[in-house]
Amino acid sequence: MDRKLSAILAADVVGYSSLMERDEAGTFERLRAGRKELFEPEIARHHGHIFKLMGDGMLAEFGSVVDAVECAVSLQRGLSERNASLPEAEQILVRIGINLGEVIVDGNDRYGDGVNIAARLQQLAEPGGICVSGKVAKEVERKLAFTFESMGEQRVKNITEPVRAYRVLLDPAAAGKTLHARRQPRAWRFPVAAGVLILALGLAAAWWQPWERPAQAVVPTVSVAADIRPSLVVLPFDNLSDDKEQEYLANGFTEDLTTALARVPGLFVFSPNAASVYKDKDPKPEEIAAALGVRYLLKGSIRRVGDDMRINAQLIDGSTSRHLWAERFDGQWADVFALQDRVVSSIAGALQLRLVGGAPSARAGGTSNPEAYEAYLKGMDIYNRINTPEEFAQAVKHFQQALQLDPDFGAAYAQLAWAYWDADVTRAVVMGLTEDEAHDKIYETLKAAARYPSPGYYQLVAELMVREHDSDDAVTVLLKSVALDPSDTWNYLSLANALNFNGRPKEVQSYLDAAARVDPNSWMDYRRYQAGLAEFGQEKFEDSVRSIEKMDLKSPDSRANFYALQVLISAYGHLGRTDQAAAALETLRKVVARRMEWELSQLITQDYMVFKNTADIERLLAGLTKAGVPELPALAKAGMNPKNRLTGAEIRSLMFGHETRGKLVNPTFLPMQRTTSVDGAVSETVGQRTRTGTSWVQGNFLCNAFPREQTSCGAIFRNSFRTPRRQDEYKSVYRWEQFEFSVVE
């Protein structure tokens, strides 16, 4: 009987039986392709060989334990890339275990505890993860650029002595460091980031034009493995120019450098917001590393005198405060983009990361015109600290100047569209526009921004899509935005919002974790609102209340409060907490009065809480009814007999498949004609304006979604003194408008 010391790798497919039950032929083909195209080549490349194949797993032997661990890492990374383009139901996740021990050699087969322990370690691994024995960790701890986190001693089936186990955590600069077990098993925090970015990058090549309706969006389920990439934060660069007004250069350079680095494969980068708290401060590197949970810090300065530029940058290991790399970059302002790329390439080289194509990818929606870039940076610097309408107008002028210098500057178009979106009456006036004119310019500007999409473009398009009851497409668009800038917190928060309204609350927490990972300290109230909304959608009313009660709900200017208070009141209603519901209701009335100058009612809720599924909005409305929120404002239902109100079934019978004619009676008088098909397609003319959209019945309300307009829902009553000749047999009551009409066909 021959024996030898070998490193044994055991791999097993997660949920194999379920995969086969759903799609036997497809699963078999994907497993076979994965083995032929990934597992067999990688194992051979690392000087190993497969000695046993099972339907859902395999065993491989390596002469070197270093080769075994490196191979396991390559296999998991390769699987992540293969899964990126697949829907959730077709993705294959694998657990891997590795042991170093003596095995019995029997021809091409291997037996003994060395093999059995590897198989048991595989069962301890997370899906998409790697678990190794203490012998493996000790053997390779100073030979590989990975860390190992202790899982403590584990008792495993059919093995007498407990086995010390370790998780493999990938970090290129943490070679040789073995982590000790914590009192509590490590929570796999931030599970989404690596999986989301890989999956989203697979979507980045797809072209999307505004207002085209792509196929049904499928949000990939992200890997449950921890984010094991090296992490970096770009601290605010110092402005060393004599002209202190050039602070915008340092701010803009920092943000663009962050975005460029975030797109380097294998690197996790914190958002500029996370770093901004350290501006004009000088904490110790280890303090920043501990506060953010980041490994590497990039510090630097920028100095511009005339056209001459100097950039100094240094890379610091936050765990040791050791300087890993430092360099000075000199050039002309005209070379600013090349200088940025040199910084990115140098940092990637210092971290031993490979740049796709050998150089940083082109800036999404960017410009190659330094003057346009400078105008844009000036506008952004003002826009991010706006206090007055005059400052708002000044920022807009800088964006317009940037576009005059470069008509193909997509990011400037997107930011200008955001400005039009943010324009209230006062801001519109200082731009020389009415509020309606500013609103119309949103879509005109987005059309130009679509030629060279940027994250800001996708984010605003998604915001409008959700508002217009199109959360399916919003999810698709936001995944493209993540691919363009994985360090942007708002991408993940917007995805959470779109998924909540799309009826997929169980998927929300992963994206909130991703937002917290790239920026631990910002948007806290909005994250709590989204968490509370997701819990409410799963009927976890107690959890929803706990999440939302952590918010500062007293601020009437908080947009999140307007939404969160409605969810909180409804949750209180479902839980029978009448006193708390009444107090929250009073707070919401103040918020509504401040924001809209309109009486609180469920019409407001239905216009703004634009759920895709009727069950979700009905759950919210039911709780509001229990809490005492009226369905209609008193002014809207004045003179209307509640007995004359149509039910949802009556509305469907009256409106769908028919033509109605009548008039708008509030806020002005205009003739109206409307045709609604059986499936809800609508064509409506009011005065000189014709629009087409979609209608549906939601509870006892008729709801409408028209492009470029907010979703609106209203009640329909029979008029007490109706006359078909005057086309006023019925009255529809919306939040802003009221119509009288009759069915004519």
Model confidence at 210: pLDDT above 60: no
pLDDT at residue 545 in the model = 96
683: enclosing H helix or E strand: strand 681-686
What DSSP element (H or E) covers 102?
A: strand 94-106
pLDDT for 45: 80
Residue 236 DSSP code: P
Confidence of residue 40 (pLDDT cuts 50, 70, 90): confident
| Cα–Cα distance for residue pair 62/7, rounded to 1 Å | 5
Which token pair is 19?
């995969």
- In this predicted structure, the answer to whether residue 354 has a pLDDT above a threshold of 70 is no
pLDDT band at 131 (very low <50, low <70, confident <90, very high): very high
Instruction: Sort strands 130-133 and 94-106 into parallel, antiparallel or unpaired.
Output: parallel
d(CA 82, CA 72): 15
Give the number of other CB atoms < 10 A from CB of residue 414.
28
Of 131 and 186, the one with more pLDDT = 131
The answer to which of 4-8, 191-195, 648-652, 699-703 has the lowest mean pLDDT is: 191-195
pLDDT (mean) for 182-192: 26
Closest CA to 202 of 187, 222, 183, 182: 222
Both ends of the chain: CA-CA distance in Å? 92
Beta strands in 255-349 (DSSP E): 268-269, 296-305, 308-317, 322-332
- Tracing tokens 């070379």 back to the chain, one arrives at 335
Round to whole Å and give the CA distance between 205 and 2. 54
Location of structure tokens 């021990």: 101
8-state DSSP, 503 = T
Backbone angles phi, psi at 653, to 5 degrees: -65, -35
pLDDT at 565: 94
Other CB atoms within 10 Å distance of the CB of residue 642? 10
Which of the listed ranges 123-127, 326-330, 655-659 does the model predict with the highest average pLDDT?
A: 655-659
CA 742 to the chain's CA centroid: 46
What are 269-272's contacts with CB under 8 Å, separation 24+? 269/231, 269/232, 269/233, 269/234, 269/486, 269/487, 269/518, 270/231, 270/232, 270/233, 270/234, 270/294, 270/487, 270/518, 270/519, 271/487, 271/488, 271/489, 271/518, 271/519, 271/522, 272/234, 272/487
Please tell me the least confidently modeled range out of 266-280, 356-370, 460-474, 549-563. Answer: 356-370
Q: How far apart are CA 379 and CA 382, in angstroms?
A: 5
pLDDT on residue 280: 82
Q: What is the rounded distance in angstroms from the CA atom of residue 553 to the CA atom of residue 531?
A: 15
691 has a pLDDT exceeding 90: yes
Q: Identify the helix (H) or strand (E) that includes residue 260.
A: helix 247-262
Confidence of residue 191 (pLDDT cuts 50, 70, 90): very low
Paired strand residues for 270: none
Q: Give the pLDDT confidence score for residue 352 in this predicted structure.
A: 65
Residue 313 CA to residue 8 CA, distance in Å, equals: 44
**Calpha distance 397→387 (Å, rounded):** 16
For residue 531, which of 515, 508, 549 has the smallest C-alpha distance? 508
Which amino acid appears at position 733 of this protein? V
Range in 90-104, 185-199, 399-413 the model is least confident about: 185-199
Q: Choose between 208 and 388: higher pLDDT.
A: 388
Confidence of residue 202 (pLDDT cuts 50, 70, 90): very low
Tokens, residue 370: 């330094």
In this predicted structure, the answer to whether residue 245 has a pLDDT above a threshold of 80 is no
**What is the structure's pLDDT at 192?**
26
Q: Give the position of tokens 């060279």.
A: 452
| Contacts for 512 with CB less than 8 Å, ≥ 6 apart | 492, 493, 496, 527, 530, 531, 534
Measured torsion, CA atoms of residues 329, 331, 334, 340, in degrees rounded to the nearest 10: -10
d(CA 106, CA 128): 31
Distance between CA atoms of residues 632 and 604, nearest Å: 9
Of all residues in the chain, what percent carry a pLDDT higher than 70? 87
Asked whether the predicted pLDDT for residue 205 surpasses 60, the reply is no
Q: How far apart are CA 163 and CA 150, in angstroms?
A: 11
Question: What distances in angstroms separate CA 605 from CA 572, 638, 683, one per listed residue?
Answer: 16, 20, 25
What ranges make up the beta strands (E) of 107-234? 109-111, 130-133, 146-154, 163-170, 178-179, 231-234
The answer, yes or no, to whether the previous bond of 486 is cis (omega within 30 of 0) is no
Arithmetic mean of pLDDT, 236-258: 84
pLDDT at 537 over 50: yes
Q: What is the rounded average pLDDT for all residues in the chain?
A: 82
Q: What is the pLDDT of residue 389?
A: 87
pLDDT confidence band for 208 (50 / 70 / 90): very low
- Determine the pLDDT at residue 730: 92
- For residue 204, pLDDT over 70 is answered with no
Strand, coil or helix: 319? coil
Q: Which range has the worst mean pLDDT, 176-190, 479-493, 523-537?
A: 176-190
* Distance in angstroms (rounded) separating the CA atoms of residues 716 and 704: 13
pLDDT at 724: 65
Quick one: tokens of 277?
């708290």
Q: Which helix (H) or strand (E) holds 65?
A: helix 65-83
Q: How far is CA 479 from the centre of its chain?
A: 7
Report residue 597's pLDDT band, with 50, 70 and 90 as the boundaries: low
Sequence-ordered list of residues with C-beta below 8 angstroms from that of 310, at least 6 positions apart, any chain: 240, 302, 303, 304, 328, 329, 330
* C-alpha to C-alpha distance for 282 and 439, rounded to whole angstroms: 43
What burial letters (b/e) apply to 108-137, b meaning 16+ CB within 10 Å?
A: eebebbbbbbbbbbbebbbebbbbbbbbbb
pLDDT at position 179 over 60: no
The residue type found at 344 is: V
Q: Rounded to an integer, what distance in angstroms lies between the CA atom of residue 422 and that of residue 430?
A: 13
**pTM reported for the whole predicted model:** 0.67
Please enumerate in sequence order all residues whose Cβ is within 8 A of that of 236, keeping only pairs 6 or more positions apart, or say none: 250, 251, 254, 275, 276, 278, 279, 280
How far, in whole angstroms, is CA 55 from its chain's centroid?
A: 36
Name the residue type at position 23: D
Relative to beta strand 163-170, strand 130-133 is antiparallel
Which of the given ranges, 195-209, 540-554, 632-646, has the highest pLDDT on average? Answer: 540-554
- The pLDDT of residue 548 is 95
Question: Residue 705: enclosing H or E segment and its boundaries?
Answer: strand 701-705
Q: Which residue has the higher pLDDT, 339 or 95?
A: 95
Q: Which residue did the predictor score with more confidence, 175 or 465? A: 465
**∠ CA 419-424-427 to the nearest 5 degrees?**
65
How do 712-718 and 730-733 pair as beta strands?
A: antiparallel
Report the pLDDT value the prediction gives residue 70, as an integer from 0 to 100: 86
CA distance 145 to 434: 60
- Is residue 220's pLDDT more than 50? no
More confident residue, 638 or 471: 471
Phi/psi of residue 5, nearest 5 degrees? -90, 125
Q: Please compute, for residue 686, the number of CA atoms within 13 A of its CA located in the half-sphere on the CB side.
A: 16
Of 264, 178, 193, residue with least CA distance to 227: 193
pLDDT at 264 over 80: no
The b-or-e profile of 40-52 (16+ CB within 10 A means b, else e) is eebbeebebebbe
